[in-house]
Structure 1
Amino acid sequence: MAIRNNFSIPNRLVIRSDLVPGESVVGYLRRLSIANGFDSLQWMFKNNLSSKEETYYEDIMYQVHCITGCDYETIKGCGYIPRDKNDRITNFYGFEIRKKHFILASQKICPMCFYEKPIFQSVWDIRAWIACPIHEIHIIDRCPECGRSLSWSQATYMCECGAFEYDDCFKGNSHENVIFCSKHISFLLWNRKEDENTKIADKVRVFSLENFLDLIVDLYMVPLIETRIRKFIYGSIYKDYEDCLIHSMGIIMNWRMVFMNM
Structure 2
Amino acid sequence: MMICEINSHSLPVRPRPVQGEATIGFLMRVALANGYETPRQLWIGLRTFDAVCKALCLSAEEENTLFGPFPSYWGHNDFKYGLTAADFNHSLMRWCPLCLRESAHLRGQWMLKLCCVCSRHSIRLLDRCPICGSTQRLERANFDRCICGAWFANAQYVDTDVESVVRITQTLEASIFDKVALPSLPSLSAQEWLRLISYLGQFSETFQPAKPGKIANTHQLDTAMSLMFNIGWLLDSWPENFHVILETIQRKEAAKLSIRRTFGSMYRVLYVDLAEGCFQFLRDEFERYLHEYWRGVVSKRNKAFKPETVATHPRVTLKQAAQKTGVAPAIVSHIMQSELIPYGLVDLPSGRKVRSIHKSNLAQIKALMNGCMAIGEAATLLALPECRVRELISSGIITPLISRVHDKSAAWLIAKQQVQRLFFTSSEPRNVFSAITVRRLLKYWHLRDGEFMALVQALSESRLVPVALQSTPVSLGNVTLDEQEARKWLEEVRFQVGSSMSVDEAAKRLCLKQQVVYDLVRRGLLVTIEDKLPGRRVMRTSLEDFQATYISLAEFSRSLQRAPRWVLKKLHVPPISGPLIDGSRQYFFRRSDVCSEALRVD
Gaps of 5+ in 2: 204-208, 241-279, 285-602
How many residues of Structure 1 are paired with residues of Structure 2 in the alignment? 230
Is 1:242 paired with 2:225? yes
The amino acid that maps onto 2:228 is: L
Change (3 A) 1:5 1:253: farther
CA drift at 1:124: 0.7
Equivalent residue, structure 2, for 1:196: none
Contact 1:5–1:43 (8 Å) recurs in 2? no
Deviation at 1:81, TM superposition (A): 5.7
Task: Describe how 1:37-52 pairs up with structure 2 within 5 A.
Answer: 37-46=35-44
Provide the residue aligned with 1:23 in structure 2: 21
- Using the size of structure 2 for normalisation, the TM-score is 0.34
Alignment match, 1:61: 49
- Counterpart position of 1:54: none
**Is 1:71 aligned to residue 70 of structure 2?**
no
Maintained 8 Å contact 2:95/2:127 = yes
Alignment match, 1:180: 167
In 1, are the aligned partners of 2:116 and 2:224 still within 8 Å (CA)? no
- The 3 A distance-change label for structure 1 pair 215 and 189 is same
For 1:248 and 1:234, the matched residues in 2 are separated by 15
CA drift at 1:119: 1.1
Match 1:150 to one of 130, 136, 150: 136
Q: How does 1:80-99 map to 2 (within 5 A)?
A: 80=68, 91-92=79-80, 95-99=81-85
Aligned letter for 1:17? P
CA contact (8 A) 2:69 2:79 kept: yes
Residue identity opposite 1:30 in structure 2: M
Give, in whole Å, the separation in 2 of the partners of 1:255 and 1:89. Answer: 37
Task: Determine the C-alpha separation between the residues in 2 that align with 1:151 and 1:223.
Answer: 33
Which residue in 2 is equivalent to 1:214?
A: 195
Q: Which has the greater radius of gyration? A: 2
Secondary structure in 2 matching 1:203? coil
| Cα distance change on mapping 1:223 and 1:236 into 2, 3 Å | farther
TM-score (ref. length: structure 1): 0.74
- The 1-side partners of 2:214 and 2:22 are apart by 31
Q: Distance between the aligned counterparts of 2:227 and 2:168, measured in 1?
A: 12
Cα distance in 2 between the residues matched to 1:17 and 1:149: 27
| Residues 1:34 and 2:32 aligned together | yes
After the TM superposition, which residues 126-205 of structure 1 pair with which residues of structure 2 at under 5 Å, given as runs? 126-156=112-142, 157-162=144-149, 164-174=150-160, 175-190=162-177, 201-205=182-186
Residue 109 (structure 1) shift: 1.1
Q: Separation in 2 of the partners of 1:185 and 1:89? A: 21
5+ residue gaps, structure 1, are: 49-58, 194-199, 225-232
How far apart are residue 89 of structure 1 and its match? 9.1
Give deviations 1:203-226, integer Å, cap 9, x for gaps: 3333222111111121126334xx
State the AA in 2 paired with 1:21.
Q
Query: In the superposition, relative to structure 1, how do residues 152 and 89 fare at CA in structure 2: closer, same or farther (>3 Å)?
Result: closer
Q: Secondary structure in 1 aligned to 2:153?
A: coil
Deviation at 1:44, TM superposition (A): 1.6
Contact 2:17 2:65 in 1 (8 A): no
**Counterparts of 2:69 and 2:26, CA distance in 1:** 16
User: For residues 79 and 24 of structure 2, what CA distance do their matches in structure 1 show?
Assistant: 16
Which residue identity does 2:133 align to in structure 1? Answer: G
The root-mean-square deviation of aligned C-alpha atoms, in Å, is 3.4
More deviation, 117-126/250-259: 250-259
User: 2:88 aligns to what?
Assistant: 102
Map of 1:230 onto structure 2: none
Asked if 1:254 is matched to 2:237, the reply is: yes
Deviations 1:109-158 (A, max 9, x none): 11111110111111110111111111011111221222322132222121
| Per-residue CA distance 1:220-255 (angstroms, 9 max, x = gap) | 26334xxxxxxxx74669983312220121101212
Q: Distance in 1 between matches of 2:83 and 2:193?
A: 11
What is the letter of the counterpart of residue 205 of structure 1?
A: P
Deviations 1:24-62 (A, max 9, x none): 2222222233233333222321289xxxxxxxxxx7221
Conserved 8 A contact 1:8-1:63: no
Contact 1:4 1:43 in 2 (8 A): yes
Q: Per-residue deviation at 1:166?
A: 1.8
* Residues in 2 aligned to 1:154 and 1:81: alpha-carbon distance in whole angstroms: 15
Q: Tell me the amino acid that sits aligned with residue 202 of structure 1.
A: P
Name which structure has the greater RCO, CA cutoff 8 Å, separation 6+.
1
- Residues 69 and 136 of structure 1: CA distance in aligned 2, closer, same or farther (over 3 Å): same
Is the CA contact (8 Å cut-off) linking 2:94 and 2:125 kept in structure 1?
A: yes
Q: CA deviation at 1:259?
A: 4.9
In the alignment, residue 145 of structure 2 is paired with which amino acid? M
